[in-house]
Amino acid sequence: MNPPTTPRILTTTVGSYPVPDWLAALPSEQALLDATRVVFSLQRQAGIDLPTDGELYRFDVNHPDTNGMIEYFVHKFGGVRREVGRSDTAAFRAKTEMRWRNKPAAVVTGPITEGVLNLPEDCARAASAAGGPFKFTVTSPYMLARTLLDEHYHDFAKLTLAIADALAAQMSELSCACVQVDEANVPGNPADGPLAAEAINRVLDAVRVEKAVHFCFGNYGGQTIQKGDWTPLISFLNRLHADHLVLELAHRPPSDLDALKGVNDRIGIGLGVVDIKANHVETPEEIARAIERAEKVLGPDRVRYVHPDCGFWMLKRSVADRKIAALVEGRDLYLERK
């Protein structure tokens, strides 16, 4: 019997998975581990090549709009105060670039340190339930910095790079096949590309496995919050020390593909072909056609991964599960035709 071959285009998920009702109702360390096993098993049974742990360890009922991708990190850093008062809120609301948030995630009162953040432990928990290679996700330092009220550095670049260094200190100990940095703010602020790239690269340079960066135009409670397109972001993307990108494209205009022709060939393209902002479950045929369109524009062998646009946290499990299955079936259908 010949050993199975690795598909030319791999399937992956972006990160989050809908929190099982039973985990939300009765959370415990054991329930979290069991839920993580379920998430991995669902993806592997569907045929996902590089699954994620569902980010269930971040779940916080008080932050349903971002599923813990901000507060989980900043509330564990040293040098921050998580209690936010009236004056803090007023000062933060004066920052017009963050008007989609009602208040800061935390207040920076001293030098940013790792504090009690322990990503290696979170990753090790996932590894114990993964049943094979998997991807672990970390929120971008630029995105985290944007959500904070800074009363210490009084310099956004210094704050951003301090967060980057705190995250980078833990990257070499992550026991996974791939580390993905998530960024949903810089697509709407391309002028900050050089700073964001420097910060993200500090994190990526400390990673000892495959490196990915996920970009979208926002998924705040299921809503797009950033305006713009990929064209002004190409030079920023090419600065990144990433092996591949994980890009929102299913929810975007087809013209975005033309801009992505400018991404350096050393960086693999991850193609979003599943819209997570809609309950419609794509058919395998729709996904196969989306891959075909992308390869016609980007050229052969440029698409390395196909995946959903973002995480699945806001969808019902029944919808997310069917979208995962359709993703694999659509990829297989496309490759069978080639």
Digit-coded pLDDT (tens) for 167-176: 999 999 999 9
| 242 in Cβ contact with 182 (< 8 Å) | no
Residue ranges of the chain whose pLDDT lies below 50: 1, 3
Contacts of 300 (CB under 8 A, 6+ apart): none
pLDDT at position 149 is: 95
| 301 in Cβ contact with 6 (< 8 Å) | no
The closest of 119, 124, 33, 36 to 76, measured between CA atoms, is 119
Burial 117-154, CB ≥16 within 10 A → b, else e: bebbebbebbbebbeeebbbbbbbbbbbbbbbbbebbe
pLDDT at position 42 is: 97
Strand locations in the chain (E) = 10-11, 78-81, 106-113, 135-139, 148-150, 178-183, 210-215, 244-247, 268-274, 303-308
Report domain extents, the chain.
10-63+115-147+155-337
At 75 the three-state DSSP class reads coil
pLDDT at position 184 is: 87
Q: Which CATH architecture has domain 10-63+115-147+155-337?
A: Alpha-Beta Barrel (3.20)
